[in-house]
Amino acid sequence: MPLNIPILLTWLRIILIPLMIALYYVPEAWVRGFGRDLAATLIFVVAAATDWLDGYLARRWQQTSAFGAFLDPVADKLMVAAALIVLVWLGRLDAVLAVIIIGREITISALREWMARIGAHRSVAVSMVGKIKTTAQMVAIPLLLYYQPLAGLDVFRLGTWLIYVAAVLTLWSMGYYMRMAWPHLIEQDRQR
């Protein structure tokens, strides 16, 4: 396993996940209401920033690796899934939205793995819709974690709207990826 700064940043993102979850399980005397939400928001934002930074540094320093290419999306999906589950548990997110987003991530990850196995991984490369979906999701989650109004802005309402946008784009991008993979799926069936 290669060990470099980009991979260490990815590992940091994975380590931050249980820390964010633990905030909601420690005794109330340790971290109270808003402090808990603020700390969870900051942890998520730092984790999301490492997602951008590890990719940037890996490309800039030419430290890309097969292990890093595997670990980075796993860390991303774990981070988002954990945050969504926490938000459902807190009553700030409808479970249906969490299932849509997490279910899509699992489906597309499996599809990408299968497409790579048959040599057609370029057919399911990240699309612009997928990038916009990720951006909406990565802005919505910290807003929902933060929860409290900020400078007169209803953070929770904005986060709720953005997570609905992310859910719609989730379904749209899943349809796009499935449509791109469909000819390969048909071809594989014919070869059997």
User: pLDDT tens across 134-162, in order?
Assistant: 899 999 999 999 999 989 899 999 999 99
User: Of the ranges 18-27, 110-119, 127-136, which is most confident?
Assistant: 18-27
The average pLDDT across 160-189 equals 86
**How many contiguous H segments (helices) and E segments (strands) does the chain have?**
6, 0
CB–CB of 183/157 below 8 Å? no
DSSP character for 13? H
Cα–Cα distance for residue pair 53/135, rounded to 1 Å: 15
Q: How far apart are CA 133 and CA 141, in angstroms?
A: 12
The residue with tokens 């940091």 is: 12
The full set of domains in the chain, from first to last, is 5-191 (1.20.120)
Please report which confidence band the pLDDT of residue 52 belongs to, taking 50, 70 and 90 as the band edges: confident
Q: Flag whether pLDDT at 192 surpasses 80.
A: no
| Mean pLDDT computed over 18-27 | 91
Whether the predicted pLDDT of 119 surpasses 80? no
Residue 148 near residue 34, CB atoms below 8 Å: yes
Higher pLDDT, 29 or 20: 20
Mean pLDDT of 22-47: 90
pLDDT at 33: 78
At 30 the pLDDT is: 86
